[in-house]
Structure formats: C-alpha cells, structure tokens
Amino acid sequence: MANASGLFSTPSVPNFTLRVRPFSSIHRFQGFSTKVFCSGTIEGAQNYASPTQSRIPRLVSQGCKLVGCGSAVPALQISNDELSKIVDTNDEWISVRTGIRRRHVLSGGDSLITLAADAAKKALEMAKVDPDDIDLILMCTSTPEDLFGSAPQIQKQLGCTKNPLSYDITAACSGFVLGLLSAACHIRGGGFRNVLVIGADALSRYVDWTDRGTCILFGDAAGAVVVQACDSEEDGLFGFDVHSDGNGIRHLNAGIKENESNNALDSNGSVRSFPPKKSSYSCIQMNGKEVFRFAVRCVPQTIESALKKAGLPASSIDWLLLHQANQRIIDAVATRLEIPSERVISNLANYGNTSAASIPLALDEAVRSGKVKAGQTIAAAGFGAGLTWGSAIVRWG
Ligand code: ACO
C-alpha cells in the first residue's frame, strides 16, 4: 500500500518498508538481493482497457531467462494453389488478405506429440540441458491427442527418467505467452530450475475444409523454449500483461456438440436423458471481421501496458513478435506502436496460423538465422479464442 511519500509497505512482512522506484529495480535486504518487479494482473476487460491502475509490486528473488528454442513442422506442405483445388479460393485472394502462401499439415500417421517432442529436443540441445534436468514441461495446446492432455506423453518421448511434472495449458493462440508466464511464476516461486514450454497445435484436425473463410488460415506446427532460473539481476522477463473475455466466444469457437445419431428412446418413446450422449467438438467457427477488429484494438494496448509495467519505451524493442494470424494484423499493430517493419518478425507466409506454435516457431527461425541475437529485447503478444490475449517483454538469451 502506498502512502503519501511513495513508500510501499507489505502487510505480510512486519516492519518491512520499501521505497518503490518506477518499475523494476534491485534492492538488497539482509544479505540477499531482491528485485522489485511490477507485474501484470489478469482481469476482465469489458472495454478491453489496460489495468494500469492495478499494478501490484512484487518481490522477485529469483530471475528467469530464455536459454534455448526449437521447432518442428509436418512434412506435408499445402500451397494456396493446391488449396484452391478443394475449395473455392485462389492464391491472390489468400495472399493479399492474409499474407499466407502455404501451410504444413499433419498427415498419415503423423503425431502432434512427436512434433512437439522434436521441437523440445532441439530447444534442449541449444540450451545444453539434459532431459533429466527438466523440472517441468508445459504443453500449450488446444488440440491434445488425448482428452486428458498430451504433456506426459511428450515427457515420455523425451526420455525424462525422473518423472518431472508435465501438464497442458489450453488458451488457443495465446497459449504460448501464457505458458511462458506460467514458467516464470513456477521458477520465481522457487523449486523449478529448467522449465520446457512447448506451443503445439494441429488445428487442421478441427477445420472445415469446405469453409473457405477459415480453412485458408491454419497450419500445424510445434515450437519450444527452455526457461531457466537465474539471478534476479539477470532476469529476462521485464513485464507482462494478460487478459481474457468470455463474451468473445461467439466470435471464435469450436464448441462441444452431441452426436445426433445417439438419440436412443426410452420405453415411453421419448429421448432418453441418461446416460449422456457421446460428444465431439465441432469445426472452428469464426467471425473473421470481429476477430480482426479485436486483434488490432487489443494487441497494441496489451504491449503498451506490458512496456509501461517494464518501464521501457516502445523504441527499446528490438523485435516485435506477434502471434502469426494475418500479415495485415501484424502491420497494423506495428504501425500503431511505431515499430519499423525491419524490426517485425513474420514467417506466416510459409506456415499460416499455427495457433500456440506460431510465436516459438517464428522465434526459433529468427534465432537460428542470426536475426535475433543474445541480449536483444522482444515484445511478444498472443491473441485468439477465449477470447484471450496477452504480451510479454523478454530478453533473448
Ligand atoms: N477466397 C476467396 N474469396 C473469399 C475467401 C477465400 N478464401 N474467403 C472469403 N471470401 C470472400 C467473401 O465471400 C466475401 O465476398 P463478398 O464480398 O462477395 O461477400 C469477400 O471475400 C470478403 O470476405 P471477408 O470475410 O469480408 O474478408 P476479410 O477481409 O474480412 O478477410 C479474414 C477474412 C482473412 C478471415 C480476416 O477477417 C481475418 O484474418 N480475420 C482474423 C482471423 C484471425 O486472426 N483469427 C485468429 C484465430 S486464432 C485462434 O485462436 C484459433
């Protein structure tokens, strides 16, 4: 709680008073170094406003940083021209309206779990972390290969013999950013040193391939990063901002539907209410225009809010790395933030919208091509179904 002199006192720590400088700064108490960090809060966002009034200063005695990345895509590649053979569309319409030229799609016996494990192995190799030194695996996906989650199967494929906790996070195209923040929370809370964050999705399995309004957008992929504990002075997560708004479900969803052929009748001839009917998920339903409007409104807001919490100006961003949904969305956000196009990462021409995989996939390509260098600052933002959206200002390496 702040008093008139700008001092913050924490009620849980008696006689503990702390002067908070704007945003993050290092303090020393009783022989250990403590970083004061202004974090984000998760809030409802009726008007999609940034919660600048609600910043809560937090003490961070343990930092976290990104030390490795990797990615993998299925072998089958489908160009716009090939797509136009099965649905009424054409390369010009798709590339002008979205920037997408081709996408990779799981086929035959391909498995999303294997794809995710391949991406994870590359990230571990870059980070020089042994599978047995992983403390936690977070699989960010909305398309798990088992109702109960895919993360433990990835753990098995990686050959982790010490049974590290592994679980799924479902938040569509915001999944990877939320996974990154969850990794930071686990590390900062103590007890976790190496956290593997994987973003992997196979939306091709939930697309209606006769609906030209949605099927042209999506592709399948996996990307991964290793987030590692470090001294608070080296902390590489400068600020973040995250939101969700359940009202937006009408604009983008793939809801559960009852199997119609399962209408068994009871002895009176009426439809039996028990046992429940078998269910499955419907194909992706989307109001593209509304999702577009939501993205160009909320993404700049969330990045501005995260930058404010980090105490950094937009000019300090070396790279803008957005969820790869539509080039027109990426361009609109960059323009609004006044970030020149040469500092914007984009690879959706080759992959389409790969949901939770898109940010780590683009990061991995940019790091391995030498574009993104150690020590550079990245503003990453995800947005999508839920609706969910959020951003993180991070340092690479
Ligand atoms: N090929 C050719 N014509 C098409 C196609 C197509 N694939 N799709 C639509 N059209 C036609 C329409 O029928 C319409 O024709 P009409 O004017 O004769 O009626 C015309 O093109 C314009 O259609 P719109 O839907 O208005 O096109 P728009 O410019 O809005 O672009 C798009 C559609 C690309 C889907 C865009 O709205 C968009 O990208 N929205 C954001 C989607 C998004 O980012 N989703 C994120 C999902 S992330 C997650 O969480 C899963």
Closest ligand 1 atom, residue 212 Cα: 7
pLDDT recorded at residue 22: 35
Sole residue written with tokens 């192995």: 121
Tell me if 93 CB under 6 Å of ligand 1: yes
**CB burial of residue 180 (10 Å; 0-12, 13-18, 19+):** buried
| pLDDT digit string (tens) for the chain, length 397 residues | 333 333 333 333 333 223 333 333 333 333 333 343 334 433 333 344 444 444 444 556 799 999 999 999 999 999 999 999 999 999 999 999 999 999 999 999 999 999 999 999 999 999 999 999 999 999 999 999 999 999 999 999 999 999 999 999 999 999 999 999 999 999 999 889 999 999 999 999 999 999 999 999 999 999 999 999 999 999 999 999 999 999 999 999 999 987 766 566 777 777 777 888 889 999 999 999 999 999 999 999 999 999 999 999 999 999 999 999 999 999 999 999 999 999 999 999 999 999 999 999 999 999 999 999 999 999 999 999 999 999 999 999 9
Does the active-site annotation cover 140? no
Which position among 69, 173, 215, 298 bears the catalytic label?
A: 173
Domains and CATH numbers, the chain: 63-249+285-395 (3.40.47.10)
Cis peptide, bond prior to residue 340, ω within 30 of zero: no
Mutational pocket test of ligand 1: of 79, 243, 292, 328, the residue with most ligand atoms within 8 Å of the beta carbon: 292
pLDDT recorded at residue 273: 75
Encoding tokens for residue 49?
Answer: 């406003």
Output b/e per residue, 337-365; b: 16+ Cβ within 10 A.
Answer: bebeeeebbbbbebbbbbbbbbbbbbbbb
Contact 353, 218 (CB under 8 A): yes
pLDDT recorded at residue 26: 36
Give the whole-angstrom CA distance, residue 234 versus residue 116: 28
Contacts of 20 (CB under 8 A, 6+ apart): 2, 6, 7, 8, 36, 57
Rounded to 10 degrees, the C-alpha dihedral 152/237/343/287 comes to 50
Write out pLDDT tens, residues 171-198. 999 999 999 999 999 999 988 999 999 9
Contact 106, 115 (CB under 8 A): yes
Distance of CA 147 from the midpoint of ligand 1 (Å): 31
Tell me if 206 CB under 6 Å of ligand 1: no
Tell me if 292 CB under 6 Å of ligand 1: yes
Contact 354, 220 (CB under 8 A): yes
pLDDT recorded at residue 272: 73
pLDDT recorded at residue 38: 36
Helices 327-337 + 288-310 axis angle, to 10: 40
Which position among 80, 160, 323, 326 bears the catalytic label?
A: 323
> Rg of the Cα trace of the chain?
22
Does the active-site annotation cover 298? no
Q: Tell me the one-letter amino acid at 218.
A: F
Distance of CA 282 from the midpoint of ligand 1 (Å): 20
Cα dihedral 327, 330, 336, 339 sign? negative
Cα dihedral 240, 241, 246, 248 sign? negative
Q: Atom 37 (ligand 1): residue with closest C-alpha?
A: 288
Does the active-site annotation cover 173? yes
Q: How many CB atoms lie within 10 A of CB 369?
A: 9
Distance of CA 288 from the midpoint of ligand 1 (Å): 6
Closest to 140 measured CA to CA, from 391, 393, 362, 382: 382
**CB burial of residue 100 (10 Å; 0-12, 13-18, 19+):** buried
Helices 91-98 + 327-337 axis angle, to 10: 20
Contact 111, 141 (CB under 8 A): no
Contact 38, 22 (CB under 8 A): no
Q: Atom 13 (ligand 1): residue with closest C-alpha?
A: 213
Distance of CA 289 from the midpoint of ligand 1 (Å): 7
Give the whole-angstrom CA distance, residue 392 versus residue 381: 7
Give the whole-angstrom CA distance, residue 29 versus residue 25: 13
Which position among 80, 194, 253, 353 bears the catalytic label?
A: 353
Tell me if 384 CB under 6 Å of ligand 1: yes
Rounded to 10 degrees, the C-alpha dihedral 39/41/46/48 comes to 30
